[in-house]
Structure 1
């Protein structure tokens, strides 16, 4: 997988990014497009390989139903062989029709999770009815893991550095983020999922990688305090 990502980035002179991950996953699985998005209501558009992928992500937010909504609710991947079937329209009466009218048929949506918290969605679609085999599903799971790492870290490496920065066995989840989430949950009296949301929101507002904020919290250089002018955030 990493060799394909490195090859894709190198031949196009593009950095390692969520869009790169989506594009390579599409190439390997034979699907038509892919996207990565935040949870419904989160700021920012989906990162997508093509306009239809972005449309499918937006439709599910606007209509409040679809595989993505179910993936968030149930905390598990949701696969649809054909959204144009009667069965699909029974489950998602608005979305299934709109998706089929847009040109999509098959879909797979995975929740991107840190522990029990879902922080985003990784979606794929095909213009023809499709069933991914076990090996393809394993590849999608791996790409979703890479997407998790990029969402948490804000990683951008140039193609010449890619192989050095993403060796075999690289893990996208840093222990500092787990530790910081636990610390913030205690400081603010929140559950772990809510604490992670606070961390992500603060990193986004500061335009800094989540890992940097997490390390400051773990090393006691930053502390979250309730009832401050900056909600839940205060310097030591």
Structure 2
């Protein structure tokens, strides 16, 4: 599969679409490359399905959720019911806001680190479903096959173009704004990247606004966050 997609230049977006089509019942699919759990070193490669954008955006905005935990623990995370008390304790805000957006189960499957990137880098395949219930062993197997294909495709793309990142590794405008805002806050307040991102997230949450919208205001409108 990875060989076919590489030859036809379809990229990881087709991996997500193929994975979603193969799962029963269908799930929305997100594919993320990250060096750690912080957005400062995380790229959402693609998404497919009606819940993927909401699920990926929530985890970027909040810094919590199954993909974040999978990156931190380097282990598969299976949240079959976002109303489960244990799940709510792990990700109180994500669990609530995900349900508001129609996500009732979420799963994250990490791949091994890629040699092109830092030791902590890795790919995570995230699955979002509009109903609660476990992910079947057969669907877990299918998802792992597609995840391995995505990793092989990434390796092939990086090996063939060592001087330039392939197009699917470039930030979307929304992601780029957040990364730029983190840099601005680091310079203004003399903070580390993690602390700058925490401050940006905290301000966005306290004001009830989207993280990327706040980042745009910081970068392009000169908005200064309070100390």
- What is the TM-score of this pair, normalised by structure 2? 0.59
1:182-213 CA-to-partner distances (Å, cap 9, x unmatched) read xxxxxxxxxxxxxxxxxxxx95x72359xxxx
Contact 2:31–2:45 (Cα < 8 Å) also in 1 = yes
Query: Considering only CA atoms, is the larger Rg found in Structure 1 or Structure 2?
Result: 1
Tell me the residue number matched to 2:133: 130
Contact 1:75–1:118 (Cα < 8 Å) also in 2 = no
CA change 1:130–1:19 in 2 (3 A) is farther
Structure 2 residue 22 is matched with structure 1 residue 28: yes
- Structure with higher RCO (Cα < 8 A, 6+ apart): 2
1:27-64 CA-to-partner distances (Å, cap 9, x unmatched) read 21123210111223236544001352022112112211
CA change 1:103–1:119 in 2 (3 A) is same
Q: For the residues of structure 2 that align with 1:22 and 1:208, how far apart are their CA atoms?
A: 17
- What is the TM-score of this pair, normalised by structure 1? 0.57
Q: How many residues align?
A: 154
Q: Structure 1: 5+ residue runs without aligned partners?
A: 156-176, 178-201, 210-236
Q: Structure 2: 5+ residue runs without aligned partners?
A: 168-227
Q: For the residues of structure 2 that align with 1:80 and 1:89, how far apart are their CA atoms?
A: 10
**1:114 Cα offset (Å):** 2.6
CA RMSD between the two structures: 2.8
CA change 1:132–1:19 in 2 (3 A) is same
Q: For the residues of structure 2 that align with 1:151 and 1:105, how far apart are their CA atoms?
A: 30
Structure 2 residue 156 is matched with structure 1 residue 153: yes
**1:113 Cα offset (Å):** 1.6
